[in-house]
Structure 1
């Protein structure tokens, strides 16, 4: 590696010097202020290397953002664009990890710097990516930066999983449960009104067997339901919603179980080519931690599993599968629907495509054996008084 003075030429000094500043999180920006000040001090180093103050551009748009990818890092994207246009003579960062912790992003930047003869500098020296030895060293630094991120994540995740395996990792609890003083201790909420409201939900579900009927019962009784968005917030009493009742019935924590790892983060590319992440719910057999009888619950585990089977049976089944509630089809209300005027049997059929939402407005009844159609949302009937009950309404109206 040649000396710094020999690497910086006139062509570099005629272009701008970019100082890139980044901290990985808002907490680091607030608490690790010494590191931030050291990064800002690189602007003085740029002037010491020969650039004027007017040529020095400080890029601090990405403070509080991770360097694992370029997503949302507008400052890095703007700096890369300037490098590609040949407007940058040198990029200064406290260390390689400030610029990128992903080899794909790092080598893309190195390739652009090589093509535009842009230098890269850190606390150890100044490098020219066009030189083989300098590029080799920068590549090793980038690889070590990515490996360091993997090691940090593995160490952190390992500690979290180890604590969760003992049932001591404190995470958000649903309404009606609070953390105790001991490690992993979970208690029922001290407010008896909250406990009674949740006990009522499970008792009514045991009686009705339907989450919707429990919700309708609460509404008919004009009962409020407790809501607590986080543990630092006070309990609020609100009108019950179906989602709130369903979430109570399906949450295993109410059955005295400690759960961890019920979801998995997946990365995918959307239709616009953007890399995004999403949460995927896992079946119970794939949960990372499931400790039954971890704490006192509102129901036992056997009751919880029975409730899940009842809820699943209420769900509309897929084609060629048994179970579920009947919601539509030619057999709906078979032998039950009759004409209010003549007493003759009716059968059902539907308007529109199969993708239409089933509602009262697109369900129709047909008089059997004629094809006289009656709209379920209409108060009138084709066979109203004064009309021949054996006359086909369509023929008479044509």
Structure 2
């Protein structure tokens, strides 16, 4: 049986971790895999998460199944986190999933049932796993212009022109905030123009919201998806708790659907659950229950928001510090855009050969397209890193 198979290519991002671990140089830097790290390079468990887990340990009496939709309290809390405490949820459906990737695949399979002939349009560039997930669901994909590597900004006008090529009922995948891999984001005014086009041309928005709270703040990072919800008749959102609750390995995410009315979204939700039934049946409960406790308890929620805000501000300071170090080392403003970006990632605009040199000569690990993890930067190594980057230009 297995002799008919050929080996799958290694994951480019995760394979960097193996190379990094095997590198004996004490000055090496890991800027590859997208996890938040503190100033000591550790990815710690957040205080509120640890406290919530202690409460679960003391109060849980069973590990029996809880149903395909997962923790219903978690689902309601996620709807409010994304759309606001006073949002009208009558046209909404949410179900817990195995991480943000599980949410993306569940939505992709659901939309493939609804519109198998649709094309899914993605930003150029986009997260490396978007295309494989969509193709696994059977979709054709196309790209719309998004990032200008010279200026480090969004090509908003070109994006709109590109989206005009989409046909009615095509699906537009949008990064809700903190664009991965570029860190360049639409302004709210530009989002308004995108929404106008989606409504005018009957295009379906599919939002990947993986970094709420990592950009400009919890409320600010939800502004685009809330604008969409106020204007479009239908939408889907894949959201993740991996980053903003730092529960990466526990796999906590959610599918959110908005329909034209309560009945249509109820039907769509039933199909979403039928999809999860054949993917993994029921999502893991532990960390989702912890997230629910945090969002429902005023004390835990306040502590979580405080720690999350400290993480966000640290990344902004690292962006500013790295941009300043690059300005000093290069005697140019070429990299100033880094300070203006938001979220965990930005691109340096290096070639793959230059990225290879950084790894081979300096032990600096980043993805081949020169995407680097801002949270992987060290405050005391910014000039060292900037000097290495400038040396390979």
Name the TM-score, length of structure 2 as normaliser. 0.23
Name the TM-score, length of structure 1 as normaliser. 0.22
Q: Which has the higher contact order (CA 8 A, sep 6+)?
A: 2
User: Higher helix proportion, which one?
Assistant: 2
